[in-house]
Amino acid sequence: MAHLPLILLVSALCASLPALDASAGDADPIYKSCVEQCEKSGCVGSKCFQHCKFSSDGKPIDGPWYMQEPLYLRWKQWDCRSDCRYQCMLDREEEREKLGDKPVKYHGKWPFRRVYGIQEPVAVALSALNLTIQFHGWISFFILLYYKLPLRQSKKPYYEYAGLWHIYAIISMNSWFWSAVFHSRDVELTEKLDYSSAVALIGFSLILSITRAFNVRDEAARVMVAAPLAAFVTTHILYLNFYKLDYGLNMKVCAGMGIAQLLVWAVWAGVTRHPSRRKLWVVVVGGGLAMLLEIYDFPPYRGFVDAHTLWHATTIPFTYLWWSFVRDDAEFRTSTLLKKGK
């Protein structure tokens, strides 16, 4: 249940995947000419780049550029072309702003401003904050289970879904981690890790939603629910990483699994008498409204905050609320089981 904000995250991510690399900005003749000249000269106006140092035979001087940087900076993979594109984009956007034109996308992305080499610094900060909220929610859930609520004689909690929530917490924090890395620098490796962790999260969330909503407690029944879904998700992740990073297919898979579990939770919220069901409705309705930020896409304000970044911010209170719901659910189920045992 606490995974609903993350379901919305994954759905937003899948919906925002670029279908094509070409955009209005990189089709601009002035921008294209700027990039071509920069790759030849290594400079845009008075600004020159260390990555654009070539010998007479066209090879980089002193080996690959990343060997000329400290080890902790190599992951960025900035090269001559990426630096030229970035500076030409900034210069072109300044010209467009003076003419009263609106910002346009370049190579499928809005024109963000870097901070210390980080592509989308605000999105990175919000992803890190979401990861922190997830960790806080998990720790508070753990403390409630093992230090505040009664335990069985085997020292295990009465709450039947505790193990699933522990797994969920790890997967969700992993997803937020790679979200932060991906927004720091968008390269093939970080892209695949971000999308793979997102698909893994939404797949496990679907398993968890079915297990909890239908009160599946028998281990054999849980395996019957989890096995086919786990096999499907694993196959899809392998397909994306080792065969083809198909954005269209990934969007359909994410949307399908996301809609399925949202329907499960919506139906369950409508029929259950759970004392904290209102929290469920708040996140479902509020999260749905927040998704409008993904539909109404707009360029980044001052080069830092766009619609998707704002959407990252909305997940913070929803995540906090949902871990509160999980704790309530643990208390409710524990109390119910203790009453039945008397």
Q: CATH code at 142?
A: 1.20.1070
* 115 is a domain residue: no
Find the range with the poorest average confidence among 41-55, 107-121, 132-146, 305-319. Answer: 41-55
pLDDT, tens only, 296-325: 778 888 888 888 888 889 889 999 999 999
Nearest to 11 by CA among 173, 252, 233, 220: 252
| Structural tokens at position 320 | 């906090």
Q: Which DSSP letter does residue 114 get?
A: P
For a pLDDT cut of 90, what percent of the chain falls above it? 41
* 110 is a domain residue: no
* 105 is a domain residue: no
Confidence at residue 2, expressed as pLDDT on a 0 to 100 scale: 43
Q: Are residues 218 and 80 both part of a single domain?
A: no
* 17 is a domain residue: no
* 294 is a domain residue: yes
The SS3 assignment for 132 reads helix
Helices then strands, each counted (H, E), the chain: 11, 2
* Mean pLDDT computed over 239-246: 91
Mean pLDDT of the chain: 84
| Structural tokens at position 40 | 């030849």
Confidence at residue 26, expressed as pLDDT on a 0 to 100 scale: 80
Q: Are residues 312 and 208 both part of a single domain?
A: yes
Q: Is the pLDDT of residue 95 over 70?
A: yes
User: Residue 222: pLDDT band by 50, 70, 90 thresholds?
Assistant: very high
Q: Are residues 141 and 279 both part of a single domain?
A: yes
The predicted model scores a pTM of: 0.84
Q: Which residue range is the domain that position 233 belongs to?
A: 121-341
- Distance, CA of 69 to CA of 239 (rounded, Å): 34
- Distance, CA of 265 to CA of 259 (rounded, Å): 10
* 88 is a domain residue: yes
User: At residue 147, what are phi and psi to the nearest 5 degrees?
Assistant: -125, -15
Number of domains composing the chain = 2
* Mean pLDDT computed over 121-142: 96
Q: Are residues 253 and 221 both part of a single domain?
A: yes
Confidence at residue 266, expressed as pLDDT on a 0 to 100 scale: 85
Sequence-ordered list of residues with C-beta below 8 angstroms from that of 238, at least 6 positions apart, any chain: none
Q: Are residues 83 and 232 both part of a single domain?
A: no
Sequence-ordered list of residues with C-beta below 8 angstroms from that of 282, at least 6 positions apart, any chain: 318, 321
* 12 is a domain residue: no
Q: Are residues 180 and 324 both part of a single domain?
A: yes
Q: Are residues 307 and 224 both part of a single domain?
A: yes
* 314 is a domain residue: yes
Q: Are residues 94 and 134 both part of a single domain?
A: no
Q: Are residues 175 and 94 both part of a single domain?
A: no
Q: Are residues 131 and 275 both part of a single domain?
A: yes
